[in-house]
């Protein structure tokens, strides 16, 4: 086939045209047509569009943000000129978190639009939500019409899922008193940068976000004039190489235009699963805060077991206990029944009882277990869940999660009592817990498998993430029509959820505050200020551990450490780098001219001699294959006031001696 014909056919089948911040289009074509297009001289690159997954207010108190306000009551008001673009599942504009009371006119630099659609009018934008767009062509081309999915949705920027509303309000939600999830975590809800403006780009539907739609959203956002882009989403591991990853490509163009991209590291638990790890993206892992949600168990022998859950339902008296494994349906093994999945339990055995269940694998749908028990006539669930016992889950019946200590007491009680009973108490909020933070059990871990000399730290999304921030049991605004979050058939306006999706907007908000204080700083300087001022200590003054058992962690877990918003405003020394430095770094890692063209959109040659990748001026230092001695170079820029003297201090890694010398 004539390549010219292939190009014309592809353009005719185009879903999105990218014309504002970079040039290109997405289309539904065959593999053969893709290969033919790649040979055409004017085509820079062709890569397959893939699906990405969407990865909660005490958290801001835990981060010490009130210190900024106390020292300067108007300090956070300076964020009113900062525009944050949120690529997610949309927004619920009627939420109190998005009122624009006290905000001035929309910044003149903003070129975006308020695109109307289903149940979304121009009146839904205001001086807080200054722009709203939505993208579905890529999703529908891969999955089919939105109407074919049996879930609530709006063909507009309105959020039927809740995820986008949650992340946006965590970043820039207005101050709302007495917010809670059905009385749990009651307090004042607020975003980290409550005066910042929001530009909403809905590219996610039913928890999935197509590459083609994400790229179109990034193209618009960069052109619209956002200062920061927040993406609480990413690909399943393993992450594609930078040059074939839509988020990496879009983020590079954002970086070139001075827009910082903050993205979640992922919730894949295991080492080498962090995503969004390109060095021009600020990758965020998740950690806990000093707050727990206890839903304890009163046994028939008057002993109380510690449990955790988001359980607002009151159980008026005690009920009999039964193991799921002892209530197997006909033809189901005891082991399988113990997992309490649909159609595995005998209703005649569990009716009117509290069922004790176990986890088969970390990704189990815990809520579905409670639904299965309710359908069989059960009245409650005790879930043995050693790894996720500190993560808040919502259930349709009184339910709670317990760890190893409680399990042993529970088993001992059941063995010694012929008619064991228990009662599950509603959740109480406990603040000031220690140790905190701890790395979240689900957060993706490094190292970076693509370029291991870059230490990106985060338990949720890199091969190292860059930084960690609160991402466990976070309260924020929600979409009241999101059916998954209804408890006792009551809709909710605020919800508590966990994930690197929740930690990412915390970092986005901190970046917005820094940008407001240092408006001329570029993405690299903001990244540096956040990373170099982070702490690796918890509130017991010990190295941050990993939830739930406090096991030892490393920079592969937390990157540079836990974010310190107050310190990040005045980092003193800053590590800066630009797009040219990025290209030199990629060249040193063997990038070909064709790969660089995929990323930049222009023919790019590597400059000789190559600079060692370990000398990329990143605000962390990583040497992937140290054999003997190695010299690593960094350049810092002083942004403080008045003359200052800095002294180098090094904690040598095990088996390594480090010496710091100054070169003028």
> Residue 14: enclosing H or E segment and its boundaries?
strand 14-18
Q: Is residue 648 part of a domain?
A: no
Q: What are phi and psi of 89, to 5 degrees?
A: -95, 15
Q: Is residue 663 part of a domain?
A: no
For the domain that residue 122 is a member of, what is the CATH number?
Answer: 3.40.50.200
Q: Is residue 393 part of a domain?
A: yes
- The three-point CA angle 295-299-305 to 5° equals 45
Per the CB < 8 A criterion, the answer to whether 528 and 255 are in contact is: no
Do 234 and 90 lie in one domain? The reply is yes
pLDDT at position 197: 98
Do 377 and 523 lie in one domain? The reply is no
Q: Report the C-alpha gap between 380 and 370 in whole angstroms.
A: 7
Do 508 and 474 lie in one domain? The reply is yes
Using CB atoms within 10 Å of the CB of residue 488, give its burial: 0 to 12 exposed, 13 to 18 middle, 19+ buried.
Answer: exposed
Do 71 and 203 lie in one domain? The reply is yes
Give the number of domains in the chain.
4
Other CB atoms within a 10 A radius of the CB of residue 78 amount to 18
At 255 the three-state DSSP class reads helix
Q: Report the C-alpha gap between 425 and 398 in whole angstroms.
A: 8
Do 162 and 71 lie in one domain? The reply is yes
Helix locations, 538-627, DSSP H: 555-558, 565-568, 579-588, 593-600
pLDDT at position 449: 47
Q: Is residue 653 part of a domain?
A: no
Do 78 and 10 lie in one domain? The reply is no
Give per-10-residue mean pLDDT for the chain (664 aa): 56 69 73 76 71 68 79 67 97 98 96 98 98 97 93 96 97 95 93 97 96 96 98 86 92 97 86 84 95 96 96 95 98 98 98 97 92 97 88 93 94 96 96 94 64 42 76 96 63 93 97 96 98 96 90 89 96 96 92 90 88 90 82 93 89 87 82
Question: Which domain-ending residue is among 411, 429, 447?
Answer: 429
The boundaries of the domain holding residue 15 are 3-39
Q: Is residue 455 part of a domain?
A: yes
Do 216 and 106 lie in one domain? The reply is yes
Question: Which domain-ending residue is among 370, 399, 429?
Answer: 429
| Residue 506 annotated to the active site | no
Do 113 and 226 lie in one domain? The reply is yes
Among 163, 253, 506, 562, which one carries the catalytic annotation? 163
Residue-wise over 199-223: b if at least 16 C-beta within 10 A, else e? bbbbbbbbebbbbbbbbbbbbbbbe
DSSP E strands, 111-249: 129-134, 176-181, 184-189, 197-202, 204-205, 208-210, 228-231, 233-234
Entry field: residues in the chain:
664
Question: Which domain-ending residue is among 374, 396, 429?
Answer: 429
Q: Is residue 50 part of a domain?
A: no
**Which own/partner pairs from 110-114 qualify as long-range (CB within 8 Å, at least 24 positions apart)?**
110/83, 110/197, 110/199, 110/224, 110/225, 111/223, 111/224, 111/225, 112/199, 112/220, 112/221, 112/224, 112/225, 112/226, 113/224
> Cis (ω within 30 of 0) for the bond into 282?
no
CA atoms within 13 A on the CB side of 256: 18
Do 519 and 415 lie in one domain? The reply is no
Nearest to 54 by CA among 90, 28, 27: 90
Per the CB < 8 A criterion, the answer to whether 547 and 438 are in contact is: yes
| Residue 163 annotated to the active site | yes
Among 88, 211, 227, 390, which one carries the catalytic annotation? 88
Q: Report the C-alpha gap between 129 and 554 in whole angstroms.
A: 39
Q: Is residue 625 part of a domain?
A: yes
Provide the greatest CA pair distance for the chain.
81
Using CB atoms within 10 Å of the CB of residue 363, give its burial: 0 to 12 exposed, 13 to 18 middle, 19+ buried.
Answer: exposed
pLDDT at position 478: 96
Do 156 and 298 lie in one domain? The reply is no
Q: Report the C-alpha gap between 147 and 505 in whole angstroms.
A: 30
Do 153 and 233 lie in one domain? The reply is yes
Do 329 and 231 lie in one domain? The reply is no
pLDDT at position 248: 94
At 67 the three-state DSSP class reads helix
Per the CB < 8 A criterion, the answer to whether 588 and 609 are in contact is: no
Q: How far apart are the first and last CA of the chain?
A: 60
Q: Is residue 326 part of a domain?
A: yes
Among 95, 169, 262, 501, which one carries the catalytic annotation? 501
For the domain that residue 299 is a member of, what is the CATH number?
Answer: 3.50.30.30
């Amino acid at each position: 086939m004539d390549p010219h014909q292939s190009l014309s056919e592809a353009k005719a089948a185009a879903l999105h045209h990218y014309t504002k911040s970079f040039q290109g289009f997405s289309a539904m074509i065959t593999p053969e047509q893709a290969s033919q297009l790649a040979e055409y001289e004017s085509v820079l690159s062709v890569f397959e569009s893939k699906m990405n997954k969407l990865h909660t207010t005490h958290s801001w108190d835990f981060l010490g943000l009130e210190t900024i306000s106390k020292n300067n009551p108007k300090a956070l008001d300076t964020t009113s000129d900062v525009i944050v673009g949120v690529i997610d599942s949309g927004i619920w504009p009627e939420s109190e978190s998005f009122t624009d009371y006290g905000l001035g006119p929309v910044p003149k630099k903003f070129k975006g639009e308020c695109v109307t659609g289903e149940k979304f009018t121009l009146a839904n934008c205001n001086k807080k939500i200054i722009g709203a767009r939505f993208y579905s062509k890529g999703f529908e081309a891969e999955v089919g019409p939105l109407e074919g999915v049996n879930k609530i949705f709006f063909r507009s920027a309105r959020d039927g899922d809740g995820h986008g509303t949650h992340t946006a309000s965590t970043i820039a939600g207005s101050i709302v008193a007495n917010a809670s999830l059905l009385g749990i975590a009651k307090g004042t809800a607020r975003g980290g940068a409550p005066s910042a403006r929001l530009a909403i780009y809905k590219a996610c539907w039913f928890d999935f976000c197509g590459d083609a739609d994400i790229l179109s959203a990034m193209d618009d956002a960069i052109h619209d004039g956002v200062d920061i882009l927040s993406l609480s989403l990413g690909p399943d591991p393993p992450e594609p190489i930078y040059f074939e990853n839509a988020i990496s490509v879009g983020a590079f163009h954002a970086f070139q235009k001075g827009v910082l991209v903050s993205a979640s590291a992922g919730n894949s638990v295991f080492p080498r699963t962090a995503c969004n790890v390109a060095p021009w993206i600020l990758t965020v892992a998740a950690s806990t805060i000093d707050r727990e949600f206890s839903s304890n168990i009163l046994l028939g022998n008057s002993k109380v077991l510690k449990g955790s859950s988001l359980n607002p339902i009151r159980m008026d008296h005690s009920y009999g206990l039964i193991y799921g494994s002892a209530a197997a349906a006909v033809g189901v093994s005891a082991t399988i029944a113990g997992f309490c999945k649909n159609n595995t339990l005998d209703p005649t055995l569990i009716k009117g009882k509290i069922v004790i269940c176990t986890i088969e694998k970390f990704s189990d749908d815990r809520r579905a277990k409670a639904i299965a028990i309710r359908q069989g006539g059960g009245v409650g669930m005790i879930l043995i869940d050693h790894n996720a016992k500190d993560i808040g889950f919502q259930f349709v019946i009184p339910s709670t999660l317990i760890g190893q200590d409680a399990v042993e007491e529970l088993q001992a009680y059941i063995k010694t009592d012929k008619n064991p009973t228990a009662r599950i108490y509603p959740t109480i909020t406990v603040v000031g817990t220690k140790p905190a933070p701890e790395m979240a059990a689900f957060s993706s871990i490094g190292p970076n498998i693509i370029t291991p000399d870059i230490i990106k730290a985060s338990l949720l999304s890199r091969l190292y993430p860059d930084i960690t921030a609160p991402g466990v049991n976070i309260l924020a605004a929600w979409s009241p029509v999101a059916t998954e979050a209804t408890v006792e058939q009551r809709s909710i306006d605020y919800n508590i959820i966990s994930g690197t999706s929740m930690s990412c907007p915390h970092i986005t908000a901190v970046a917005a505050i820094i940008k407001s204080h240092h408006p001329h700083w570029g993405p690299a300087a903001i990244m540096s200020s956040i990373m170099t001022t982070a702490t690796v200590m918890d509130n017991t003054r010990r190295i941050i551990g990993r939830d739930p058992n406090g096991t030892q962690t490393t920079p592969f877990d937390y990157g540079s450490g836990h974010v310190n918003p107050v310190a990040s405003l005045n980092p003193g020394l800053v590590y800066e780098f630009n797009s040219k430095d990025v290209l030199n770094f990629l060249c040193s890692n063997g990038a070909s001219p064709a790969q660089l063209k995929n990323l930049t959109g222009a023919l790019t040659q590597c400059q000789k001699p190559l600079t060692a990748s370990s000398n990329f001026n990143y605000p962390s230092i990583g040497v992937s294959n140290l054999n003997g001695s190695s010299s690593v170079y960094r350049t810092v820029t002083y942004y403080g006031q008045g003359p200052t003297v800095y002294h180098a201090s090094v904690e040598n890694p095990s088996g390594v001696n480090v010496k710091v010398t100054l070169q003028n």
